[in-house]
């Protein structure tokens, strides 16, 4: 592929800056240099002094590279750019992720990346100013910047108190907030002191998108007759009611489906050797999310809505049909 002289000069300059920032060769190659140019919003015929720090999703970065530097990355390259360039830029504190909303989950379509102010200051001094000196100052400050960034992320993490008093923290996001509501609100109301949390995932995404394991009592589950299984087969939260000998299999729904008939069959098969009773629950954050999914919920399952935590909806009326006590 032929590039113009201006495009080639900017590419080599970007690589020089990245190299001087101390990045390894894989992060000052052509791909990373183009990404860096996009993040700085610097076009081939512009000076580095015009650099800015827009909030850019990965696909916008790819569009910029295609439109201004003639390199056409295909849609399936998005993950390569994210994993092999943006992730390392973030670790090196060259960029911030979701500066506009640090609580945004990592699988959100609105995720964005932007250069931080020290990098913009370096670019405005390149190539004829004191940019090398600014890089030295920046590199000395990186450990402190990393610590500040980590503290900022931790501030938005969601704490969950386990039955033994230990506290784990989940990544920020609507899905993990619902996990916390299940443990703190659903379990306290409908399971009580006999409840034992056996599994919860820090999804930061969803079961289908490879969320990471956060807490698992595999030996206890095996004692109940549940064979070891990859956590993508487990529901979002698993709680055992030791008094009633019921195992609650709870799906948390914020953007993906409930315990549908298909999912019910999958869970029945996965837990077919379980020695205790199985209770299937779909948890929603609010009624709006419930309404969107109501038609897909399987019979003989339960529904709990976090913003109405004292009530449940039973999709098995023959068991619960009958009059309620009159309120005084």
* The 3-state secondary structure of the chain, one letter per residue: CCCCHHHHHHHHHHHHHHHHCCCCHHHCCHHHHHHHHHHHCCCCCCCHHHCCCCCECHHHHHHHHHHHHCCCCCHHHHHHHHHHHHHHHHHCCCEEECCCCCCCCCCCCCCCEEECHHHHHHHHCCCCCCHHHHHHHHHHHHHHHHHHHHHHHHHCCEEEECCCCCEEEECCCHHHHHHHHHHHHHHHHHCHHHEEEEEEEECCCCHHHCCEEEEECHHHHHHCCCCCCCCCCCCCEEEEECCCCEEEEEEECCCCCCCCHHHHHHHHHHCCCCCCEEEEEEEECCHHHHHHHHHHCCCCCEEEECCCCCCEEECCHHHHCCCCCCCC
55, pLDDT greater than 90: yes
118-167: pLDDT as tens digits: 999 999 999 999 999 999 999 888 876 666 666 666 676 777 777 667 77
Closest by CA to 22, choosing from 155, 106, 136, 191, is 136
207, pLDDT greater than 60: no
Say whether pTM exceeds 0.85.
no
Mean pLDDT of 269-281: 93
Phi, psi of 42 (to 5 degrees): -105, 120
Using 50, 70 and 90 to split pLDDT, how confident is the model at 209?
very low
Could you tell me the end-to-end alpha-carbon distance of the chain, in angstroms, rounded to an integer?
81
Using 50, 70 and 90 to split pLDDT, how confident is the model at 210?
very low
Counting residues of the chain whose pLDDT is more than 70, the rounded percentage is: 87
131-143: pLDDT as tens digits: 999 999 998 888 7
Q: Which domains does the chain have, with CATH numbers?
A: 5-155 (1.10.10.1820), 160-320 (3.40.1350.80)
């Amino acid at each position: 592929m032929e590039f113009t002289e201006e495009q080639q000069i900017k590419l080599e300059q970007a690589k020089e800056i990245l190299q001087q920032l101390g990045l390894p060769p894989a992060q000052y190659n052509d791909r990373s240099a183009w990404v860096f140019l996009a993040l700085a919003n610097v076009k081939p015929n512009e000076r580095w002094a015009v650099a800015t720090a827009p909030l850019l999703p990965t696909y916008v970065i790819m569009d910029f590279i295609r439109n201004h530097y003639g390199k056409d990355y295909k849609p399936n390259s998005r993950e390569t750019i994210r994993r092999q360039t943006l992730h390392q830029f973030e670790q090196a504190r060259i960029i911030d992720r979701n500066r506009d909303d640090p609580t945004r989950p990592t699988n959100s379509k609105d995720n964005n990346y932007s250069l931080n102010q020290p990098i913009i200051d370096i670019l405005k001094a390149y190539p004829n100013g004191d940019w090398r000196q600014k890089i030295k100052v920046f590199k000395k400050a990186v450990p402190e910047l990393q610590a500040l960034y980590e503290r900022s992320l931790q501030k938005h993490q969601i704490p969950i108190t386990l039955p033994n008093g230990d506290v784990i923290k989940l990544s920020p996001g609507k899905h993990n907030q619902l996990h916390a509501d299940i443990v703190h609100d659903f379990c306290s109301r409908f399971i009580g002191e006999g409840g034992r949390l056996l599994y919860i995932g820090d999804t930061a995404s969803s079961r289908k998108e490879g969320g990471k394991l956060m807490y698992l009592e595999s030996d206890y589950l095996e004692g109940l007759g549940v064979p070891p299984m990859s956590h993508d087969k487990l529901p979002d939260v698993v709680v055992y009611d030791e008094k009633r000998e019921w195992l609650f299999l709870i799906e948390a729904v914020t953007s993906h489906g409930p315990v549908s008939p298909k999912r019910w069959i999958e869970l029945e098969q996965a837990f077919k050797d379980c020695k205790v009773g199985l209770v299937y629950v779909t948890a929603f954050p609010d009624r709006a999310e419930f309404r969107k999914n109501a038609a897909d919920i399987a019979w003989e399952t339960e529904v709990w809505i976090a913003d109405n935590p004292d009530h449940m909806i039973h999709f098995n009326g023959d068991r619960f049909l009958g009059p309620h006590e009159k309120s005084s």
